[in-house]
Amino acid sequence: MSAAPSSAGQLPGGPSLPQERRLVTAVPGPKSQELQARKLAAVAAGVGTTLPVYITRAGGGVVEDVDGNSLIDFGAGIAVTNVGNSAKAVVERAAAQLAAFTHTCFMVTPYEGYVAVAEQLNELTPGDHEKRSALFNSGAEAVENAVKIARAYTKRTAVVVFDHGYHGRTNLTMGMTAKNMPYKHGFGPFAPEVYRVPVAYPYRWLTGAENAAADAAAQAIDMINKQIGAENVAAIVIEPILGEGGFIEPAKGFLPAIVEFAKANGIVFVADEIQTGFCRTGQWFACEDEGIVPDLITTAKGIAGGLPLAAVTGRAEIMDAAHAGGLGGTYGGNPVACAAALGSIETMKELDLNAKAQAIGATMLPRLRAMQEKFDIIGDVRGRGAMIAVELVKPGSKDPNPEATAALAKACHAEGLLVLTAGTYGNVLRFLPPLVMPEHLLAEGLDILETAFAGL
């Protein structure tokens, strides 16, 4: 993997952003602390902040703050800026669209960008059957609409989701999300007809990883048959790699078994690829890994290089089941966001970001596995492409170690490496670098992480 071409990470003709880690104050520095004090006085307490450094510029593999610090970014705004924070094609196309017109509402008077994004999605998503797409603003909105569409098509109501799943923060998607704190606590009641079944979590499957796929699929299917009735199920919704749940890759064979069951019972199989999509795992979509062709696929995050856009894409006969006027929204498929998405997809193809994601995984996994040999709190190292995680445990056990996870994240932040945590037990460090991350910054970030483990 070579260093990111400057065109991918920097504003065209704008100030060049040095691809380096640079600490000139403590993290957060005095100006960030001042802004954080204003934030606490002005912004609702429920909107949290992982690392309160206030950003002025970002691109390639770094974010630069108001104090002049430059941090290595292993978070990509939660798997959003796969092409970098200021990819040339994204900025140019979005800026041109911004100057032409900002909005008309696609449901009132349409424009080409929306149609072009739908065409791209129909082409890039798995399967060569006839497809349709509909565009929205956020991932949660896409998931809600996938459920609406599946219910309209099947004329059934039940929705099946999985342990450790995450699908958003709106009422329906909160109910579909597994974890209570912080996502659901105190915010109920939740929408009815949502049912949760086991997922094949290899590291924590009680009878061993080798039994996880068959056991979990059998249990999930038995629960659906006995507790819900397959004939009542409109949709089965799953992330091909569970993101917020801790980058859990279901044991091989689990997803195909669920897909087969869905097909045999007339259930719409929905892959929630909001975090895994758009080259993140080294493929356009993570379900390609086991050759899965979902009936519907939800996308957001990485789709538009940082602008808010989301989509549901799938089989034409299912997508077209909702009546005219039944889907949409004032801003859904905003023209500036669509232009950004076309620039983002163009960048992914041009820079072959699937290959870049694979190269990032090929660098990270061996280094993290070597750390696992040295540090007994690393219970598991896993992931695909540039979606990589370590699960931390108490030494000599599999007991989750959220304290060490928080301490490590803090130590990395102090050294100018932005990392995120995840996991049902809060004990997973997750790494989601922009796919244009320069090689030397990836290596430096891993050095910082290793030093943090050694210093724990």
Ligand X SMILES: *Cc1c(COP(=O)(O)O)cnc(C)c1O
Residues within the interface to ligand X (CB under 6 A): 138-140, 143, 166-168, 239, 243, 272, 274-275, 300-301
Instruction: In angstroms, give the least distance from the CB of 164 to ligand X.
Output: 11
Angle (deg, nearest 10), helices 402-414 and 439-454? 130
Nearer to ligand X, 36 or 170 (CB): 170
Q: What is the dihedral of CA 305, 21, 420, 50, to 10 degrees?
A: -90
Residues 340-354 as b or e (16 or more Cβ within 10 Å = b): bbbbbbbbbeebebb
Instruction: In angstroms, give the least distance from the CB of 173 to ligand X.
Output: 7
Instruction: In angstroms, give the least distance from the CB of 455 to ligand X.
Output: 31
Instruction: In angstroms, give the least distance from the CB of 166 to ligand X.
Output: 5
Instruction: In angstroms, give the least distance from the CB of 392 to ligand X.
Output: 21
Residue nearest to ligand X as judged by C-beta position: 139
Nearer to ligand X, 166 or 284 (CB): 166
Strand, coil or helix: what is 436?
Answer: coil
Instruction: In angstroms, give the least distance from the CB of 292 to ligand X.
Output: 16
Before 28, cis peptide (omega within 30)? yes
Instruction: In angstroms, give the least distance from the CB of 272 to ligand X.
Output: 5
Residues 197-229 as b or e (16 or more Cβ within 10 Å = b): bbbbbbbbbeeeeeebbebbbeebbeebeeebe
Calpha distance 116→109 (Å, rounded): 16
Instruction: In angstroms, give the least distance from the CB of 372 to ligand X.
Output: 26
Nearer to ligand X, 8 or 337 (CB): 337
Nearer to ligand X, 50 or 104 (CB): 50
Nearer to ligand X, 29 or 243 (CB): 243
Nearer to ligand X, 168 or 343 (CB): 168
Residues 242-257 as b or e (16 or more Cβ within 10 Å = b): bbbbbbbbbbeebbbb
Calpha distance 236→220 (Å, rounded): 11
Instruction: In angstroms, give the least distance from the CB of 138 to ligand X.
Output: 4
Nearer to ligand X, 243 or 416 (CB): 243
Q: Output the six-digit token pair for 215.
A: 């056991």
Before 182, cis peptide (omega within 30)? yes
Q: How far is CA 140 from the centre of its chain?
A: 12
Nearer to ligand X, 242 or 404 (CB): 242
Nearer to ligand X, 220 or 242 (CB): 242
User: Under the phi-then-psi rule, with left for phi > 0, alpha for psi from -120 to 50, and beta for the rest, what region is 280?
Assistant: alpha
Question: If we measure between CA atoms, which residue out of 451, 444, 456 comes closest to residue 73?
Answer: 444
Q: Which residues contact 189 (CB under 8 A, 6 or more apart)?
A: none
